[in-house]
Structure 1
Amino acid sequence: MFVAVVPIKWAASPWIVSSFLSVNGAELIQASGEYFTTLLACALSMYDRLWGIRWQQDPGMDVGKYLVRIGYRGSRRPSLENLMEIHSCHVLKVPFGSLAIHCGEDIVLELPTLYRKVVDQRREGFCYELNGLFSWLLGQLGYTGVSLLPAQVYSPETQRFGPPREHLALLVELEERRWLCDVAYGKGFRRPLILEAGKEQRQESGTYTLTEDQGTWYVRRSIINGDSAQMCAKENTLYKFTLASQRLEDFKAMCLYQQTSPRSLFFSKSLCCLHLPGSLITLTGRRLTITQFTPSGDREKSVTMELEEERIPQVLREQFGIMLSNKLVPKDQDIMQPSTHY
């Protein structure tokens, strides 16, 4: 007899679970402190027929392996404290970047494919990949109020916002508050930000403030740049977003745009960025930038060096933990000006 073991959090509602129990004789069991529903295979097909929901869980996608990938060893119980730690671990372990585009690899927004790349192959990813996969992880851990949000990045290079859905961020409703999550942004925040307009939220990588104007939210970062001899206070708008919940497939068109348009940062530059305790390392083309943060998060200082192309694979391996299977063609071109104001 074939038996399928399904986490109870996948069930759509308690009455669906109850229906399964009465029809199929399955029983609830408790293992390792987490509840599971044991269902016969026929129940899965009946679930599909009655509610039109396809069984999409890939057997290769394992929550435990994902948590090992990001170096998280804490409790899996949904809580604000655990969310903060999981978010921080993700940012400190998984690089953000676009190397795949410049290795001749297509980026496909399918969760099993993203999992194999980020977890199994220990690769980098950009926002659709990392935040899309992170939303899956949170769902599996029992965080029920997770939404995918459409965002538009402000480019200091073009001094304009990009097109709609240029960026993907996450909103998590937890403990009667709403939290902005984003594990896929270069100089972004390391821990979730409370969705509260005007509140300064200081972290190791800077002070972040959210503002709101007629339903559009803005993420701003401020920090003092330079040493004591030459300091400059900077406040940058990182991106704007709305609270209109999206599906991952809603970003497919923009995912293709990011891979093919000269107006895209990721097409124009081979980029890889990783947060580290006290610092941030960024590889753009052949330029390696190391940014140091003070413990208080009030200032930063950056040093940039030019690399010989043959050194790049070694730097990726030693500094970012990435081993490429295809040859990387470094690229660092100017971004073409957007055709319109968004």
Structure 2
Amino acid sequence: MDDYLRRIGAARPLHADLTALRDLQLRHLRTVPFENLSVHLGEDVVLEEKALIAKIVEARRGGFCYELNGAFAVLLRDLGFGVTLLQARVFGEGGRLGIPYDHMALRVEAADGSGPWLADVGFGDHSHFPLALDERGDQKDPAGTFRFEEGPEEGDLDLYRDGKPQFRLETRARALPDFEAGAWWHRTSPASHFTQSLVCSRLTPEGRITLSGRKLVSTVNGERHEEVLGDDAAVLAAYSEHFGLSLDRLPTAPERTS
């Protein structure tokens, strides 16, 4: 866990309070990329705590929600937070919901009695800081205005960002193996957006940087910049420079598959 803290540039907090949780989430988002490269490198996605920590800490990789939030849960528990895994279904085009166990998020109890908090380092472009789960009013965040509303089924919460639905959260506690079917679907189904495209993305102090295939997109203080990288060497260099990923080969983008 000390290696994990060094991975995200954090000191071990003295107290498992909201201040520490906010700092840990922000540092995680800025250092560990949201990426689906394993899907296109032929790597398995193993939802076991040791495997998740090994990938993110030892291999210095990123991952998608199951991996990022699964590992973050291990770290938070080690630091004294109470953590519950929650499943969610993501809203897609036309308000259609994704599969069950579409997304993993974390309910976090802090030692200062605040919260409970929704902590999430695995939804890509999302809130920078934890959100108060019991709050039904607007919650301001650098990424926008967030709001929880009661869902159609008892215990469900719909999360909105700037008025747009993000995902439907089920508040019943889940275990890591519960998410295996969702993770398998996302890395194998032709209908999954993770099999259809490559993405590697990280929050920055000025905005965000994303590499999708050969296109490098950076947002700096609200201004978007795009660059198409010329060859494989340039793409590998970009993974290393911007995301700290040392790859020995490129993931095969769907459009390059024969």
TM-score by length of 1: 0.69
Kindly indicate whether the alpha-carbon contact (under 8 Å) linking 2:64 and 2:122 is maintained by their aligned counterparts in 1. yes
Output the CA distance in 1 between the equivalents of 2:223 and 2:145. 15
Shift in Å, 1:122: 0.7
Q: Percent identity?
A: 35
Q: What is the one-letter code of the residue matched to 2:88? A: A
Pairwise mapping of residues 1-342 of structure 1 onto structure 2 (< 5 A)?
Answer: 63-144=1-82, 146-156=83-93, 160-174=96-110, 175-214=113-152, 215-222=155-162, 235-293=163-221, 300-310=222-232, 311-331=234-254
Kindly indicate whether the alpha-carbon contact (under 8 Å) linking 1:270 and 1:332 is maintained by their aligned counterparts in 2. no
Runs ≥4 in structure 1, deviation > 6 angstroms?
none
Output the CA distance in 2 between the equivalents of 1:305 and 1:238. 28
- Deviation track 1:273-293 (CA, whole Å, cap 9, x = no partner) reads 100112111122222222234
- Deviation track 1:78-130 (CA, whole Å, cap 9, x = no partner) reads 11111111111111110011011111111111111111111011101111101
Kindly indicate whether the alpha-carbon contact (under 8 Å) linking 2:2 and 2:12 is maintained by their aligned counterparts in 1. no
> Residues 260, 309 of structure 1: CA spacing in aligned structure 2 closer, same or farther, 3 A cutoff?
farther
Gaps in structure 1 of 5+ consecutive residues = 1-62, 223-234, 294-299, 334-342
Larger deviation, residues 84-93 vs 68-77: 68-77
Shift in Å, 1:221: 1.8
Kindly indicate whether the alpha-carbon contact (under 8 Å) linking 1:165 and 1:254 is maintained by their aligned counterparts in 2. yes
> Residues 113, 246 of structure 1: CA spacing in aligned structure 2 closer, same or farther, 3 A cutoff?
same
Residue 242 of structure 1 aligns to a residue whose secondary structure is strand
Q: What is the one-letter code of the residue matched to 1:217? A: L
Q: What is the one-letter code of the residue matched to 1:164? A: P
Gaps in structure 2 of 5+ consecutive residues = none
Larger deviation, residues 185-194 vs 278-287: 278-287
Larger deviation, residues 204-213 vs 271-280: 204-213
Q: What is the one-letter code of the residue matched to 1:147? A: T
Of structures 1 and 2, the one scoring higher in RCO (CA 8 A, sep 6+) is 2
Mark the structure with the bigger radius of gyration. Answer: 1
Kindly indicate whether the alpha-carbon contact (under 8 Å) linking 1:100 and 1:106 is maintained by their aligned counterparts in 2. yes
Partner of 1:58: none
Q: Give me the CA root mean square deviation.
A: 1.9
Output the CA distance in 2 between the equivalents of 1:90 and 1:192. 12
Residue 91 of structure 2 aligns to a residue whose secondary structure is strand
Kindly indicate whether the alpha-carbon contact (under 8 Å) linking 1:95 and 1:274 is maintained by their aligned counterparts in 2. yes
Output the CA distance in 1 between the equivalents of 2:254 and 2:76. 34
Equivalenced residues, count: 251
TM-score by length of 2: 0.90
Output the CA distance in 2 between the equivalents of 1:180 and 1:265. 24
Output the CA distance in 2 between the equivalents of 1:91 and 1:76. 21
Q: What is the one-letter code of the residue matched to 1:327? A: L
